[in-house]
Amino acid sequence: MNIRRIAIVEDEPDIAEIIAYNLGREGFEVQHAEHGTEGLKMIKEWKPDLAILDIMLPGMDGVEICRNIRQAENIRDIPIIMLSAKDDEIDVVLGLRMGADDYITKPFSPRELIERVKAILRRRRINDDSSENQLAYGPLSVDKDRHEVKLIDDNIDLTATEFKILSCLVERPGRVFKRDDLLSRVLGDDAIVIDRTIDVHIRSIRKKFGDHRDLIETVRGVGYRFKDIESL
């Protein structure tokens, strides 16, 4: 297996060193930046498999780095874990709104962070290995070629838009998608949509999912995500 590369942007040397040391011991290749702008530059050039971003940084904060990554064509799908200095819900919500995959609040144990990193990379690998057009997660399988959705053995009949929304969510279990981000991914940036259009589609998908409706979770104030079954 390829060596997995992790970028760390963290201005507190002690914390960065502990993270880098522990990731290195697990066989990861690590690069580190202390400055936000330099961190973003490093990520753009190095294209790591995952980025760990502190929120409070000199130059450019972690939320802004996250936003930049999600808007850059060739790095927009890099998984991101945010480090939050305090249990500050606003930071965390902002980070998730910008497309972070997960967050962890300081102080944290290196073990905990490594487990989160591994979990995200493991999920990523499952979806990378399967042919790009065959997605499977928990009881759900999505066949993009045949436009087929199954829950266990039952075929679920979705509209074209519902199908696109579901595919988008299930490609990144656990990741929160903002409403407007989902809409632009599904309908394109040019689509004229009224606010909350996405809610109507989600409601309809859930209805068709019946007992499995909880697979699509609402994240208050942010948007939607496909349930991260591994974290249960």
Shortest reach from residue 16's CB to Ca ion, in Å: 10
Closest C-alpha among 186, 79, 205 to residue 140: 205
DSSP for residue 172: S
Give the residue at shortest CB distance from Ca ion.
56
Contact region with Ca ion (CB under 5 A), list: 56-64, 86-94, 98-106, 181-189? 56-64
DSSP state of 193: -
Give CA–CA dist 61/2, Å, rounded: 30
Tallying the residues shown for the chain, one arrives at 232
x/- mask, Ca ion, residues 9-38, rule CB under 5 A, reads --x---------------------------
Tokens coding 188: 């394109």
Nearer to Ca ion, 54 or 162 (CB): 54
- Binding span for Ca ion by CB under 5 A among 4-12, 42-50, 150-158, 223-231: 4-12
Among 7, 51, 54, 140, contact with Ca ion (rule: CB under 5 A): 54
104 near Ca ion (CB under 5 A): no
Cα–Cα distance list, 213 to 34, 140, 155, 202, 226 (Å): 43, 11, 15, 10, 10
Residue 56 binds Ca ion (CB under 5 A): yes
Q: Are 176 and 96 in contact (CB under 8 A)?
A: yes
Smallest gap from residue 48 Cβ to Ca ion (A): 19
Q: Which residues bind Ca ion (CB under 5 A)?
A: 11, 54, 56
